[in-house]
Amino acid sequence: MKAESLENDINHGAERETPAIKTKSVMQYVNPKQYERILVRRAARKKLKIIMEEYKQFQHKFNREFNNKSYLHESRHNHAMKRARGPGGRFLTAKEISQLQEANEKKENS
């Protein structure tokens, strides 16, 4: 009995083609169970990609409609508005501020 089932399994495997995955240039043969899982995973990944795209579109629309503020905290915004900025718009360090003040004093004294 075992010999028959073993023989059937061997013959059944011979009739069935080994699944292959096409990569960039080479075909790679894989185990049939692996191939089934690969197909399931590809389908799941495709479904997840669609869901994420829809979510991102919703999130973008939601943020645009309900959150028109360009900052979250008023106090931080006010503090940033008072800070000194350089020619490129970046905040100046304490050292740079002192250098600018010294340069301005020299111009006034001259």
Q: Is the pTM of this model over 0.75?
A: no
Evaluate whether residue 7 is within a structural domain.
Answer: no
Q: What is the pLDDT of residues 3-52, one digit of tens each?
A: 555 455 555 554 566 677 776 677 788 888 999 999 999 999 999 999 99
Do 86 and 64 share a structural domain?
A: no
Number of domains in the chain: 2
Evaluate whether residue 97 is within a structural domain.
Answer: yes
User: Which tokens belong to 10?
Assistant: 């061997």
Do 22 and 63 share a structural domain?
A: yes
Q: What is the pLDDT of residues 38-58, one digit of tens each?
A: 999 999 999 999 999 999 888
| N- to C-terminal Cα separation, the chain | 111
Do 41 and 20 share a structural domain?
A: yes
Do 74 and 60 share a structural domain?
A: no
pLDDT grade for 60, boundaries at 50, 70 and 90:
confident
Q: What range defines the domain where residue 47 resides?
A: 13-68
Do 97 and 59 share a structural domain?
A: no
Residue 81: C-alpha distances to residues 57, 71, 75, 87, 92 (Å): 32, 12, 10, 15, 13
Q: What is the pLDDT of residue 19?
A: 74
Q: What is the pLDDT of residue 29?
A: 85
Cβ-defined contacts of 5-13 (< 8 Å, 24+): none
CA-to-CA distance for 7 and 22, rounded, in angstroms?
A: 31
Q: What is the pLDDT of residues 69-104, one digit of tens each?
A: 677 788 999 999 999 998 899 999 999 999 999 999
**110 vs 13, residue with greater confidence:** 110
